[in-house]
Amino acid sequence: MVKLVLVLGDQLSPNLSALCEADPSSDVVVMAEALGEAEYVPHHPKKIALIFAAMRKFADRLRGEGWTVRYYLLDDEKAPKTISEALLRTAEEVGTSEVICTQAGEWRVTDDLANLPLTVTTLPDDRFIATDQEFQSWAEGRKQLRMEYFYRDMRRKTDLMMDGDQPAGGQWNFDHDNRKAPPKEITFEGPLRFEVDGTVEDVLNLVEDRFGDNFGDLRPFWFATDAEQANEHLTHWIKYGLPQFGDFQDAMVLGQPHLYHAHIGLYINIGLLDPLEVCQAVEEAWKNGGAPINAAEGFIRQIIGWREYVRGIYLLEGRDYVNRNGLGHSRDLPGMFWGKKTWMACIEDAVGQTEREAYAHHIQRLMVTGNFALLAGIDPYQVHEWYLAVYADAFEWVEAPNVIGMSQFADGGVVASKPYVSSGNYIDKMSNYCKSCSYKVKVKTGPDACPFNVLYWQFLLRHEDKFRGNPRMAQMYRVWDMMNEERRKTVLSDAETWLARMDAGETV
């Protein structure tokens, strides 16, 4: 019997397990631009355009390789609204009931496929380095699931940057070299930008028409949309960005969205680049003297460590993970996350570039927008939906553990051993934002005080029962305990006043 081979918008890899299992001479590939996928959160228009353009080009590539592809265009009058509908319709047309798919990246899609009245064979997604079973066995019986130990296993498994069974350079982790303050001069001009071709232009017109009101600028659109371009992008970054990637990994510079970051998550996550091959290319550059060890190790750790680890957590923790709210936060996400004016230079820059580029780098996501949402006590589900919508690389399996776990501590400490919170000091040390801010980072109370300064203490006090006993937070509570009573009262009332103004919709 003919089989349908489902290829989802983030499965655009020629060696996808479902494609490897099928027969191009008889089986039919199904791809669908589905409104349901485009609308389950209000995705950034650049993200939708990236996925649709890359899907169209991948379908052409498969046809060129001899596959029969049933591709549903979103603007077809009778376009199916969901992936399930596309499969059911094609099954009827072709006269089959058999579907092969590769495990989807989201529980939502996995469940939809499992509920189809068709025979669906699901294959593992072997584009990941760790199998589901490997992660489960690693996690079993451990009290704490710390990424660092998992990462070492992945180094051994891939043999990346290893000297026999020992890490190259005698250390597993060179993170202490990767926290330099922002550079005065930036020598990397940023990611390669690609010309809009006919396929991309068609998609841009469609996205403009159907999703033009979503938060985010569609144009100028310059992303890579096929494997060839993504590889060009990678080669360019390895040559010009990687050498300084490690040093300035945690730095933030006003008006510089990418610094030395790879801008590669979006391409890996939809299958245009293979994570292991990307790491091998980086290792090669290091071996040839094209990058220092702290840059190469730091980058490889993000991919075979963090990226694999968060996927393992997503699968392990199950469907309910995105609803966790361990700190009981319930404030609504304020307008400044959707571009409303704020006087906070750091938030304005991080949100502004998110609006323009569907991108922010890790420290902006964690220590600016994430830190703010956590300190302000925003409902973590709303924070989760925001991150899932606005970043071009956001898919729930990777976004949720980063947001619900690492950033919002809503999972009660599965991912992080303590909340990632800081006062304005950290942002001042790692960026040049505070120099141009209307607030004063050195001022601790009063109308000019940096909001992070007062919200930080209010957060610690709000959750004293949970965190005072955490040895990694003891120092913070000691500082609070040493503050005089009058000062403490002022800090707390300033925090309340500021939050009330924000909740009332004032520009803060």
List contacts with ligand FAD (CB under 6 A): 261-265, 268-269, 299, 302-303, 306-307, 310, 361-362, 365-366, 370, 387, 391, 393-394, 398-399, 402-403, 406-407
Smaller CB distance to ligand FAD: residue 67 or 409? 409
Q: Are strands 98-102 and 3-6 parallel, antiparallel or unpaired?
A: parallel
Smaller CB distance to ligand FAD: residue 53 or 394? 394
- Dig out the tokens for 80 from the structure: 């199916």
Residue 37 found at the interface with ligand DLZ (CB under 6 A): yes
Min. distance of Cβ 342 from ligand SF4 in angstroms? 8
Q: Are strands 162-163 and 166-167 parallel, antiparallel or unpaired?
A: antiparallel
Of 98-106, 243-251, 318-326, 412-420, the window that binds ligand DLZ (rule: CB under 6 A) is: 98-106
Contact 352, 430 (CB under 8 A): no
Alpha carbon separation from 152 to 134, 140, 146, 308, 420 (Å, rounded)? 13, 17, 11, 12, 23
- Which partner, ligand FAD, ligand SF4, ligand DLZ, none, binds residue 439 by CB below 5 to 8 Å per kind? ligand SF4
Residue 38 found at the interface with ligand DLZ (CB under 6 A): yes
- In the window 348-407, what residues touch ligand DLZ (CB under 6 A)? 395
Distance of CA 62 to the CA centre of its chain: 28
Residue 48 found at the interface with ligand DLZ (CB under 6 A): yes
Smaller CB distance to ligand DLZ: residue 49 or 454? 49
- Dig out the tokens for 416 from the structure: 């992080």
Smaller CB distance to ligand SF4: residue 210 or 440? 440
The continuous run of DSSP H or E covering 39 comes out as helix 35-39
Q: For ligand DLZ, how many residues bind (rule: CB under 6 A)?
A: 17
Smaller CB distance to ligand FAD: residue 113 or 403? 403
Smaller CB distance to ligand DLZ: residue 359 or 498? 359
Smaller CB distance to ligand SF4: residue 148 or 496? 496
Min. distance of Cβ 153 from ligand FAD in angstroms? 17
Q: Of residues 3, 4, 5, 10, which one binds ligand DLZ by CB under 6 A? A: 10
Smaller CB distance to ligand DLZ: residue 9 or 401? 9
Min. distance of Cβ 254 from ligand SF4 in angstroms? 9
Q: How far apart are CA 397 and CA 107, in angstroms?
A: 8
Smaller CB distance to ligand SF4: residue 386 or 452? 452
Closest CA to 249 of 430, 416, 433: 430
- Which partner, ligand FAD, ligand SF4, ligand DLZ, none, binds residue 424 by CB below 5 to 8 Å per kind? ligand SF4
Closest CA to 366 of 319, 406, 326, 417: 406
Min. distance of Cβ 35 from ligand DLZ in angstroms? 8
Q: In what order do the strands lie in the sheet with 3-6?
A: 68-72, 28-32, 3-6, 98-102, 119-123
Smaller CB distance to ligand FAD: residue 402 or 453? 402
DSSP-assigned letters across all residues of 224-258: --SHHHHHHHHHHHHHHTHHHHTTTTT-B-TT-S-
Closest CA to 238 of 183, 195, 196, 299: 299
- In the window 433-452, what residues touch ligand SF4 (CB under 6 A)? 433-434, 437, 439, 441, 450-452
Residue ranges of the alpha helices (H) in 124-241?
132-139, 147-158, 198-211, 227-240
Q: Of residues 4, 22, 32, 403, which one binds ligand DLZ by CB under 6 A? A: 32
With b for 16 or more beta-carbon neighbours within 10 A and e for fewer, the 81-100 pattern comes to: eebbbbbbbbbeebebbbbb
* Phi, then psi, of 222 in degrees rounded to 5: -140, 10
Alpha carbon separation from 265 to 179, 307, 362 (Å, rounded)? 21, 9, 11
With b for 16 or more beta-carbon neighbours within 10 A and e for fewer, the 39-50 pattern comes to: ebbbbbbbbbbb
Of 59-67, 190-198, 260-268, 339-347, the window that binds ligand SF4 (rule: CB under 6 A) is: 339-347
Residue 427 found at the interface with ligand SF4 (CB under 6 A): yes
Min. distance of Cβ 352 from ligand SF4 in angstroms? 13
Of 16-24, 103-111, 281-289, 317-325, the window that binds ligand DLZ (rule: CB under 6 A) is: 103-111
How many other C-beta atoms lie within 10 A of the C-beta of residue 10? 23
Min. distance of Cβ 449 from ligand FAD in angstroms? 25
The continuous run of DSSP H or E covering 167 comes out as strand 166-167
Q: Of residues 27, 33, 226, 357, which one binds ligand DLZ by CB under 6 A? A: 33
Residue 38 found at the interface with ligand SF4 (CB under 6 A): no
Q: Which residues pair with 431 in a beta bridge?
A: 252
How many other C-beta atoms lie within 10 A of the C-beta of residue 295? 27
Residues that bind ligand SF4 (CB under 6 A): 344-346, 424, 427-428, 433-434, 437, 439, 441, 450-452
Residues that bind ligand DLZ (CB under 6 A): 8-10, 32-34, 37-38, 43, 48, 51, 83, 104-106, 109, 395
